[in-house]
Amino acid sequence: MTVKTRIASVGLAAGMLTAAPAVAHHSANAEFDTQKVMVITGVLTKLEVVSPHSWWHLEVKGPDGKVTPWRLESNSPAGLIRLGVKVKTDVKVGETYSFRISPAWKDPAGEKLGWMRAFTINGKEYVLTEL
């Protein structure tokens, strides 16, 4: 193997490794109807503050009294911190919160899915993203 071939191989491998994360990240519009905005209010049942996106699990009671589980995709832990959200002290499982969301194009079986645009805690609205 010549030196030029080795250098080209290493360059190609490095390019593929750095491009993989960019390809893996998806547009919010691919999964969510970002033209539609709705407000839901529900009881937080679980919070997963993980990278690259946090997940907020809710139970939302409809006008007919039926409870529907929702899972909302949110900012990363660092993104929430930058907004001033104190997840460990301000957000509590079992409490009721309001969320401004864009719903999914297609929901998985058994729950509704949404992209969190904003949420309100203790009367303060935190705007996560405006699409």
Please state the separation of Cα 64 from the chain's center in Å: 28
**Residues comprising the chain, all counted:** 131
Q: What is the pLDDT of residues 12-51, one digit of tens each?
A: 544 444 443 444 455 677 789 999 999 999 999 999 999 8
User: Can you give the pTM of this predicted structure?
Assistant: 0.76
Q: What is the pLDDT of residues 82-106, one digit of tens each?
A: 999 988 898 999 999 999 999 999 9
CATH topology classification for 28-127 = OB fold (Dihydrolipoamide Acetyltransferase, E2P) (2.40.50)
Q: Please give the DSSP secondary-structure letter assigned to residue 30.
A: H
Whether residue 52 is preceded by a cis peptide bond, meaning omega within 30 degrees of 0, is: yes
* Domain ranges (residues) in the chain: 28-127
Token digits of residue 84 = 């001033």
Q: Please give the DSSP secondary-structure letter assigned to residue 105.
A: S
